[in-house]
Structure 1
Amino acid sequence: MSEPLFLKPVFHEKLWGGRKLETEFGYDIPDGTIGECWAISGHPHGKEQVVNGEFAGQILADLWNDHKELFGNPKGKVFPLLTKILDANASLSVQVHPDNEYAEKHEHELGKTECWYVIDAEPGSYLIYGHNAKNKAELDQMIESGDWDHLLRKVPVKKGEFYYVPSGTVHALNKGIMVLETQQSSDTTYRLYDYDRVDKTTGKKRDLHIKQSEDTITVPHKDPKLDIQFKEVGKNKFTTFVQPPISPFFSVYHWEIKEPAQLHHQIGKYTLISVLSGEGKITADGKDYDLKKGTHLIVPATIDEWTLSGDLDIIASESGEN
């Protein structure tokens, strides 16, 4: 019998983190300023274990290598996606991520295109999203002179919004924002600006990566044109935020479940599911599994169809690379 793969999150302390992963999601998190919940991860920096069934205790990365049938016999060397919940209790550094080509050459891992679904945002919250430089020369000059007020684009943000962040995009979450992030499985970040903050462990300012940032920033910035699609089936609402070809690496969906819904894989061969709120069940191969806020799982390729029931708010994703 095929079963969904339920995963145990891994948590990371961050200079900008807080405690909302505990207070809002009920996670048993370590002491300190915890900024990231790595919810579904095969990356070496977030070695997640399966907690149920035949593969209980096994690492997702090992399943990818040893049980290709669970993922539709993919060709890629690594599990390609990474799902996180981020709690920005303070502003993150202004940063940029490289594309696959640059990351492979310089970092020996995947590039990093990502996206955010805004779980919550305090009044007045904003993102850094893009920049105002018209060309490379102007970009370099504004960075060198530290003209951040004119260079960086500030975008007001609200709960329930979605932002697609291709590699090469200058960006930052700021204070008071919580998001679910879907991204390529990469941990490469180039810091462009960090508000001159001092790391409490080292007592020094955190490293910046100006050359790498200048190498990888897309100039001029252009907001991606998304084809967001909505569908209502009975009391259920299904939103497709992004999918290939606009997003070559993943598709991301928002499912609002109020009555039983039969679902199947769409563009991919397996599906990642994160429950943002509510309670319910997933039924697969005639067996029920409980779902609640903060649950994360993969529906493997060995399950063709499944049913969601209850009152559930879900972000799901699929890899665009099979």
Structure 2
Amino acid sequence: MYNEPIFLAPEFKERLWGGTKLKELFGYEIPSDYTGECWGISGHANGPSVIKNGSLEGKTLAEAWETNRELFGGEEGDEFPLLVKILDSKKDLSVQVHPDDTYAREVEGENYGKTECWYVIDCEEGAEIIFGHHASTREELEQMIDDGQWDDLLRTVKVKPGDFFYVPSGTIHAIGAGIQILETQQSSDITYRVYDYDRVGQDGKKRELHLEKSKEVTTVPHEDPAVDRKKSVEQGLVREQLVEENYFTVEHWELDGAVEGLSDRSYKLVSVIEGEGEIVVDGSSYSFRKGDHIIIPATVDTYGLKGKATLIASHSNK
């Protein structure tokens, strides 16, 4: 029986819009000064996490999902269902939209579409995201895209640290410059670019846009999804539910002291965004610190936490 937390080595992605905050804030060894993404908990083929400890050390999360399904409560599915990232947007990300599961299967041949959510870790004062659009009908959306009426079409929202956004598939969105977020999403890498500010990449060419697919999958009209943040206190742990929906539940944990007897419905994904502490399982302690990404497997019946830290925890609702 695997009776300890699983620590994962993140995978890093260089992006046109990336910077150095992943190193500055979390101490990661990043590949360049254009590092935009840390894939902290990933079973995706484009960047699987590698297990750092225990009897599965050296295996990828995808391999563990394939061969040790008991760690995940016997959950069904060909692929690990969730992907947890930390993003650093030194520059604006492209304006984009993602398909739902049905479109992803029928058009892209992939298992999952992409519903996601964002917790703002830090940002510059006055930083903004694009979240939704102003078109009333699909015809109006298509016309505004064709005419390049981006200032009229796109809806901007100012952000601050601690903000949370639930971004269902079909939502036009973009993370603006100067923002670091933790993103929990379905395990999908399908992105349709709607607008990219006419930028060119390192090859001197503009990046590909996906206008027809974007028009097909965008939800019209845009409606902000309801987010009901709920807090509870368990000993030295304040738990705040950020979202509970079809694919995942995401929580913000503020640890200050100790909590014992935690038990999860199955396996839990945990990312440490501030501080340090210990996970205690059957009298054994496992130290964690800011920047760590951890899975508490379903084979751990109960566990405790000690320390002073801020964590984002999630689980699959499949």
Please indicate, yes or no, whether the TM-score normalized by the shorter chain is above 0.5.
yes
Distance 1:259 1:135 in 2: 52
Distance 2:89 2:301 in 1: 37
> Shift of the alpha carbon at 1:304?
1.6
- Cα deviation, 1:143-182, whole Å, max 9, x if unaligned, reads 0000000100000100001000000000000000000000
Q: Map of 1:31-70 to 2, 5 A cutoff? A: 31-70=32-71
> Shift of the alpha carbon at 1:95?
0.2
> Shift of the alpha carbon at 1:231?
1.6
> Shift of the alpha carbon at 1:234?
4.5
Note if contact 1:91-1:173 (Cα within 8 Å) is conserved in structure 2: yes
Equivalent residue number for residue 118 of structure 1: 120
Distance 2:136 2:118 in 1: 26
Equivalent residue number for residue 259 of structure 2: 261
Following TM superposition, the consecutive aligned residue runs of length 4 or more in structure 1 with deviations greater than 6 angstroms are none
Distance 2:33 2:291 in 1: 20
Equivalent residue number for residue 105 of structure 2: 104
* SS across alignment from 2:251: strand
CA 1:263 to 1:170, structure 2 compared with 1: closer, same or farther past 3 Å? farther
* SS across alignment from 1:212: helix
Q: 1:304 aligns with which of 301, 306, 312?
A: 301
Q: Count the aligned residue pairs.
A: 316
Equivalent residue number for residue 170 of structure 1: 172
Note if contact 2:263-2:303 (Cα within 8 Å) is conserved in structure 1: no
TM-score normalised by structure 1 residue count: 0.96
Distance 2:263 2:103 in 1: 31
* SS across alignment from 1:251: strand
* SS across alignment from 1:260: strand
- Cα deviation, 1:179-236, whole Å, max 9, x if unaligned, reads 0000000000000000000011x21100000011001000000001122111234553
| Structure 2: gaps spanning 5 or more residues | none
TM-score normalised by structure 2 residue count: 0.97
CA RMSD of aligned residues (A): 1.0
Distance 1:10 1:130 in 2: 29
Equivalent residue number for residue 283 of structure 1: 280
Note if contact 1:97-1:188 (Cα within 8 Å) is conserved in structure 2: yes
The one-letter code matched in structure 2 to 1:176 is G
* SS across alignment from 2:141: helix
Distance 2:254 2:311 in 1: 6
The one-letter code matched in structure 1 to 2:124 is E
Note if contact 1:265-1:271 (Cα within 8 Å) is conserved in structure 2: no
Distance 2:312 2:16 in 1: 27
Note if contact 1:285-1:303 (Cα within 8 Å) is conserved in structure 2: no
Distance 2:124 2:261 in 1: 34
Distance 1:304 1:233 in 2: 17
Distance 1:148 1:286 in 2: 57
